[in-house]
């Protein structure tokens, strides 16, 4: 039986390898084939897959720890590991028939998905007809399945938000990934036109948001019956936490080797550099502590976990960790010096990656704080992603 300690140990072994490939991953604008194969060979991608489908069925915290370790080496690779490991959990939102199909040939799922809605979703006999082009398809480059979202209309039923999972071969991945940060994720647009999706490959997004879909109810393990957004934060927040730890470690090396171009004074001898370094380390420690608290709360089985206020609170906790990481890397950046922004320096990569992740729709501190503030004041929230 594969244990959490075994997989975390393998992640630590892969970290320096991924760090050595980080620049090349950026240049490729996509995960490297060899890095994906390393994750597969290490057995990381089936961390959350139910045992009945050949997976490890380990706690969500195991995934989060692996993601943080890999993200400290290469945030883009850590992000992809999170989405591919998390895909097994997200697949539980679909029907039993879909789950059996998805895991028929392997115990992991190479799945890309987008939150942006499709242009058109029509109810038709036996299923749905979907059309549109959606951005932010993390994992699309190597994906075998694509998840789409959309508002289903037509028939005698009212409009309803739905999730769909379809073979990548029935879609078109469009090379649109020209961005400042997280360049190695290959998060391209994905398009489909008049694609028929059978009913068994569709699921109510509202039920999945609340952790109450029929597919989730099939499994005795309570982790599969958690609400969607709190789980998603277990995927993405460790990327920021790991990236900040990687940045802090890289900054130590930078301070030790740097000296003023004009004065020749070693940075390590300057109180400002010493204090900036200490703040960065303290922030990395704080982010890791807050992440552990988040994961502990996520694993608690409590009646309130399905309530809107609880889900909003979990989103705010993740957004707060994100904001802490952004502020910390920006403080460190003021001490990089010019050479820290050369392409050869990992520091500028952490700076760009963390700042880009911090404006992700799921992680935005302003939206999350506004929602909790409104609920506290007995006002209806305006955030649809809860």
Does residue 74 fall inside a structural domain? yes
Instruction: For tokens 């699921």, name the residue.
Output: 203
Task: Output the domain CATH number for residue 29.
Answer: 1.10.540.10
pLDDT band at 155 (very low <50, low <70, confident <90, very high): confident
In this structure, are 10 and 68 located in the same domain?
A: yes
The pLDDT tens digits of the residues spanning 79-91 come to: 999 999 999 999 9
Residue that terminates a domain, selected from 102, 132, 165: 102
Q: Are residues 194 and 255 in the same domain?
A: no
The model's pLDDT over 290-324, given as tens digits with 9 standing for 90+, comes to 999 999 999 987 778 889 999 999 999 999 999 99
- pTM of structure: 0.95
C-alpha 384: how far from chain center:
19
CA dist., res. 363 & res. 323, Å (int)? 9
- Residue with token string 């390898």: 17
Is there a domain that residue 217 lies in?
Answer: no
* 181 domain-assigned: yes
Q: Answer yes or no: is pLDDT of 260 > 90.
A: no
Share of the chain above pLDDT 90, in %: 87
Identify the domain boundary among 79, 102, 125.
102
pLDDT tens string 33-79: 999 999 999 999 999 999 999 999 999 999 999 999 999 999 999 99
Q: Rg of the chain over CA atoms, in angstroms?
A: 21
Q: Please check whether residues 148 and 285 belong to one and the same domain.
A: no
294 with 347, same domain: the answer is yes
Residues 16 and 135 in one domain: no
- Which domain covers residue 240, as residue numbers? 226-376
Q: Which residue has the higher pLDDT, 261 or 354?
A: 354
Number of domains in the chain: 3
CA-to-CA separations, 285 to 21, 110, 127, 279, 315, in angstroms, rounded: 26, 32, 49, 10, 21
């Amino acid at each position: 039986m594969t244990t959490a300690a075994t997989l975390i140990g393998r992640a630590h072994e892969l970290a320096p390898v991924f760090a050595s490939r980080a620049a090349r991953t950026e240049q490729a604008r996509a995960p490297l084939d060899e890095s994906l194969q390393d994750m597969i060979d290490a057995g990381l991608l089936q961390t959350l897959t139910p045992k009945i489908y050949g997976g490890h069925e380990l706690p969500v915290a195991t995934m989060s720890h692996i993601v943080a370790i890999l993200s400290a080496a290469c945030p883009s690779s850590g992000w992809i590991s999170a989405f591919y490991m998390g895909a097994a959990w997200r697949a539980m939102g679909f029907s039993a028939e879909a789950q059996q199909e998805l895991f028929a040939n392997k115990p992991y799922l190479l799945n890309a998905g987008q939150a942006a809605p499709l242009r058109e979703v029509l109810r038709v006999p036996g299923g749905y007809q979907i059309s549109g082009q959606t951005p932010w398809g993390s994992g699309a480059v190597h994906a075998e399945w694509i998840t789409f979202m959309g508002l289903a209309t037509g028939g005698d039923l009212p409009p309803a938000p739905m999730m769909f999972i379809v073979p990548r071969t029935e879609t078109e991945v469009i090379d649109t990934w020209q961005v400042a940060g997280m360049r190695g994720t290959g998060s391209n647009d994905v398009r489909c036109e008049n694609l028929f999706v059978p009913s068994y490959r569709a699921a109510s997004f509202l039920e999945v948001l609340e952790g109450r879909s029929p597919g989730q109810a099939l499994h005795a393990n309570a982790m599969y019956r958690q609400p969607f957004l709190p789980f998603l934060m277990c995927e993405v927040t460790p990327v920021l936490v790991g990236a900040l730890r990687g940045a802090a470690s890289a900054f130590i090396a930078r301070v030790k080797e740097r000296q003023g171009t004009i004065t020749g004074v070693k940075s390590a001898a300057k109180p400002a550099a010493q204090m900036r370094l200490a703040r960065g380390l303290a922030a990395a420690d704080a982010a890791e502590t807050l992440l552990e608290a988040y994961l502990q709360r996520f694993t608690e089985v409590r009646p309130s976990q399905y309530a809107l206020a609880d889900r909003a609170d979990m989103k705010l906790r993740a957004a707060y960790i994100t904001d802490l990481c952004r502020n910390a890397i920006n403080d460190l950046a003021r001490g990089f010096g010019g050479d820290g922004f050369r392409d050869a320096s990992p520091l500028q990569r952490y700076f760009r990656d963390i700042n880009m992740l911090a404006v992700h729709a799921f992680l935005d501190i302003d939206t999350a704080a506004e929602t909790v503030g409104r609920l506290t004041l007995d006002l209806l929230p305006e955030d649809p992603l809860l």
